[in-house]
Structure 1
């Protein structure tokens, strides 16, 4: 059987406009897919209505388009995929890999669930995945190298459906990556810690495990993640090339390798050809935060 075609994706949550950190993830995933001659998809992770901002998803898509980053297929919205998550959950419940949990957060010492507290009862229990003692999961990340996590000790039995109703990220992302045929997950390093859980769940569901690459997490001058700081200002696609160049440098690419294309489309095509994944750093260049702040202010 021939190997599946390379397929990457960008999966924002519609909690507000795209900022520089989210653009970096989008551009990095696009570059890796294009460099491999593959496809690039977009998924809207709209599973948590209280956190969503009305109209944010459509505005995010318009921003991506202004930067020349257009999905190769239909945009998938998680809010429309309840039946698929339910089917996966039912399989796990039937096999005994998932179970109802009536524990509250305050019941869990250190936040790690290893066994339910006797006598507890909630009208709408959460559903957790059973993680047997000694469950150690390893995978190779294209940026961070070998990653190994003792999921049973560090995470414990983790939630698949929350007690208040919404599907947990871990279940939805695994089901959707398989459904979309994603072969390489390229995203921010803040999600590196959750990857072992997803690999373990993939194995329980008999789903393929994609390759992973976790990009440097861009922080502001005070060392805070952009989404937690004033630097999380909306990016302006009216003049996309300076911001794309800043993202290019954040991905560790050589400044003199940035193409001076006459148009956005020509620049992107040349950038995909010149891109070298091996140059991606684990942390962004120290000068990036100040450069980004200036870029955003100039573009706003």
Structure 2
């Protein structure tokens, strides 16, 4: 449910956080953990918590999934500030950012197909994809048209302090190479959209799953080149199934049932390293949230990339 955003005069240490699910299916427990962590971290500082639906990839968006996610969050008494931002309505903003980067000489057209890149790539990168070998850096091959636009990788190591995972370092050129901002199918890449939207929404604190940890250096580099503020980052451990796979639509993660209420939220909070008193496990949702906000500490969150849920979810 939405609430009115707090005034700009809120506490100077207040964090502006966000939860930004992709509507590829219903909300599962792994996504709930990210929602709970980001929500509590913002509210514990008397800050704002925003909602963004990352539906920029039309091929992956499932009809009705966004509304189902919102109903689940409302059913668990999450309260978000202001209006919901939908990436599918923000293409003009992404186009303007791409034009700025082109004018600055930060991007270039690329004619390479995935097959060509795989054949020439020197290594596999952090995303599991081939590291782009820079084939089109000096111009398109004769007779070839652009398929995508790529961002020049920095010739420096990107270093940042993650509030959960500690100091992170990445040589983006070696880890992924020049990366795509406008895809061959005409869709804007997540890396560009997320940084443009975080700046537009005033997000200064990103709390999300550790599956995006390796993307963060690219996003920081983009923010620098676009002259956008860089938020702080906290990457929470991912929830894995018994096979060690991240919970997702692809691994057939089950949708959560909001009618379970506080026991479900307690399970998410305990996964994040917090001990929930027995008398709070079945408390009314407003009472549970008051306790959780008052007792949240990100220092209790385990500094690991993933973990298997140690017990069954409440029925």
Contact map agreement 2:101 2:107 (CA 8 A) in 1: yes
How many aligned positions are there?
292
Partner of residue 263 from structure 1, selected from 277, 284, 291: 284
Deviation per CA, 1:64-89: give whole Å up to 9, x if none: 00011121110000000011000000
- Report what 1:45 is aligned to: 54
- Name structure 2 gaps, 5 residues minimum: 1-8, 124-129
Structure 1 contact 220–289 (Cα < 8 Å) conserved: no
Deviating more after overlay: 249-258 vs 31-40: 249-258
Question: If the length of structure 2 is used for normalisation, what is the TM-score?
Answer: 0.87
Q: CA deviation at 1:104?
A: 1.2
Q: C-alpha distance in 1, partners of 2:279/2:88?
A: 38
Q: What is the TM-score when the length of structure 1 is the normalising length?
A: 0.91
Structure 1 unaligned runs (5+)?
none
The alpha carbon displacement at 1:223 in A equals 1.0
CA contact 1:130–1:157 (8 Å) conserved in 2? yes
Deviations 1:155-175 (A, max 9, x none): 111011101111100000000
Q: What is aligned with 1:93?
A: 102
For 2:196, which of 164, 175, 191 is the aligned residue?
175
CA shift in 2, pair 1:115/1:157, >3 Å: same
2:94 and 2:193 in contact (8 A); partners too: yes
Give the aligned partner of residue 113 of structure 1: 132
Question: Where do residues 237-276 of structure 1 align in structure 2 (5 Å cutoff)?
Answer: 237-256=258-277, 259=280, 262-276=283-297
Give the Cα separation in 1 of the matches to 2:305 and 2:148.
38
Q: Give the number of the structure whose residues are more often helix, by fraction.
A: 1
What is residue 62 of structure 1 aligned with on the other side?
Answer: 71
**Per-residue deviation at 1:291?**
2.2
**1:116, distance to aligned residue in structure 2 (A):** 2.2
Kindly provide the CA deviation profile for residues 168-220 of structure 1, in whole angstroms up to 9, marking residues without a partner as x: 00000000000000011000010001000000110000011100000010001
